[in-house]
A and B are shown apart, each in its own frame.
Chain A
Amino acid sequence: MAYSDKVIDHYNNPRNVGQLDKSSQEVGTGLVGAPECGDVMRLQIKVNPETQVIEEAKFKTFGCGSAIASSSLATEWVKGKTVDEALDIKNTDIVKELALPPVKIHCSVLAEDAIRAAIGDWKKKNGVAEGEAVAQPVAAH
């Protein structure tokens, strides 16, 4: 199957590959996997506690070119967004941007899941209930 130029670009020059300190309070880690092809994807975000802006994003993905490109693109997109804005990223946006064929749509789903999982982890760490808007810094108990 032919990959689109954008997939090939992300595959050859993946953005933001790497790792953030998992134990940091400001870091959220999402680890997701797709059983059908054995893909596994780790996406991490570092959130500014004052502004809720995602300042840093890293990923490491084992899988096909589309999975790597989807997660690479996801890290690019979340950077500079607030946590709530990042939750608006939909897998269909990734499909469109990378021109993924139908058989590779699950890769984009995985990337969206990874974003949500990373944000979910960050929220949990910082005592924000799932689904709750992050309007203000977390109140300490």
Chain B
Amino acid sequence: MPDQETESVAASCWSCGASLGTGSPICSSCGKVQATSADADYFAVFELSRKLNIDTKALERGFYKLSRKLHPDLYAQAPVQEQQWSLDQSSLLNDAYRALKDPVRRTEYLLTLEGMKLEPEKGDAGKAARAPADLLEEVFELNMQLEEMRMNRKMGEDDPQLRQDLVNAKDQFEGQLRDNDIQIQNLWAAWDTAVDAGDPSQQDQLKTQMVASLDRRRYIRNLVRDVNETLES
């Protein structure tokens, strides 16, 4: 069932005139493919409300079901306009599925949809986001070790202790990444509750927390990647 909210923009089928939920790709009355709607977000494609805990199995089933109905091959003999719509709807459906099935991408998408800025604009001087302050010491230390490792490598030396230190540091950051993921999941649950409760101030607060959590995640992931590259090079 679509939410009241997602249904608020009334639309009707171009063919039979039956009323449609926003973003419905296909008319439930006559089965005709519809034009993609400008306000069709990825959640609306699957008739979901903007919540973060999604049953991915159900999402997958919905994806295949809609794919089968919308596939451009089915419209090979249809009027040109409907061919185009099936193409548009199929590509929207694919984008929507890819974005929603992955938890992180889903969260990022929701936050963007909710008007949050995820990546700070590079030229956006004063507003540049700050790296997590509690991590900086470790990050600096890690970079020192990485530099030493690369220097050693250039000289054709290998320091087993240093290598071990780096592996330990990497394990530690990977642990933090897992902690961070748990934190994000807790935020999802809180978000869904706030959506159900219709509590905008709570939602705003959670959005900010989710952005911070995702920033942190991206930051740590880049660190782990740097360590891996150095260890494997």
Nearest B residue to A92 by beta-carbon distance? B125
CA distance A91 to B216 in the complex (A): 25
- Check A38–B226 contact: CB distance below 8 A: yes
Digitize A1-41: 1 where CB-to-B-CB distance is under 8 Å, 0 elsewhere: 00000000000000000000000000000011111101010
- Check A40–B139 contact: CB distance below 8 A: yes
- Check A102–B223 contact: CB distance below 8 A: no
- Check A109–B126 contact: CB distance below 8 A: yes
- Check B143–A62 contact: CB distance below 8 A: yes
**B219: shortest Cβ distance to chain A, in Å?**
5
**Knowing A102-B123, A105-B123 touch, does A33 contact B130 (C-beta < 8 A)?**
yes
Task: Report B116-136 residues with CB < 8 Å from chain A CB.
Answer: 119-120, 122-126, 128-132, 135-136
Task: Report A40-77 residues with CB < 8 Å from chain B CB.
Answer: 40, 42, 60, 62
Task: Report A77-110 residues with CB < 8 Å from chain B CB.
Answer: 91, 102-106, 108-110
- Residues of A contacting B222 with CB < 8 Å? 38
- CB within 8 Å: A-B pair count: 65
Nearest A residue to B225 by beta-carbon distance? A38
- Check A35–B215 contact: CB distance below 8 A: yes
- Check B130–A31 contact: CB distance below 8 A: no
- Check A35–B129 contact: CB distance below 8 A: yes
- Residues of A contacting B196 with CB < 8 Å? none
CA distance A38 to B227 in the complex (A): 12
Q: Which A residues form the contact surface with B (CB < 8 A)?
A: 31-36, 38, 40, 42, 60, 62, 91, 102-106, 108-110, 113
Query: Which of B122, B132, B136, B218 has a CB less than 8 Å from the CB of A106?
Result: B122
Q: Can you name 17 A-B residue pairings with CB atoms under 8 Å?
A: A31-B140, A32-B136, A33-B131, A33-B136, A34-B129, A35-B131, A35-B215, A35-B216, A36-B122, A40-B139, A40-B143, A42-B140, A60-B140, A62-B140, A102-B123, A104-B122, A109-B128
- Check A109–B130 contact: CB distance below 8 A: no
- Residues of A contacting B135 with CB < 8 Å? 33
**A104: shortest Cβ distance to chain B, in Å?**
8
Nearest A residue to B141 by beta-carbon distance? A40
- Residues of B contacting A35 with CB < 8 Å? 120, 129-132, 215-216, 218-219
**A10: shortest Cβ distance to chain B, in Å?**
18
- Check B131–A32 contact: CB distance below 8 A: yes
Can you list the 3 inter-chain pairs with the closest CB atoms, starting with the nearest?
A33-B131, A102-B123, A62-B143
- Check B122–A103 contact: CB distance below 8 A: yes
- Check A36–B136 contact: CB distance below 8 A: no
Digitize B139-153: 1 where CB-to-A-CB distance is under 8 Å, 0 elsewhere: 110011001000000
**B71: shortest Cβ distance to chain A, in Å?**
40
CA distance A62 to B137 in the complex (A): 13
- Check A91–B125 contact: CB distance below 8 A: yes
- Residues of B contacting A113 with CB < 8 Å? 130
**B138: shortest Cβ distance to chain A, in Å?**
10
- Check A34–B136 contact: CB distance below 8 A: no
- Residues of A contacting B132 with CB < 8 Å? 35
Q: Counting chain B CB atoms within 10 Å of each CB, which of A31, A91, A108 scores highest?
A: A31
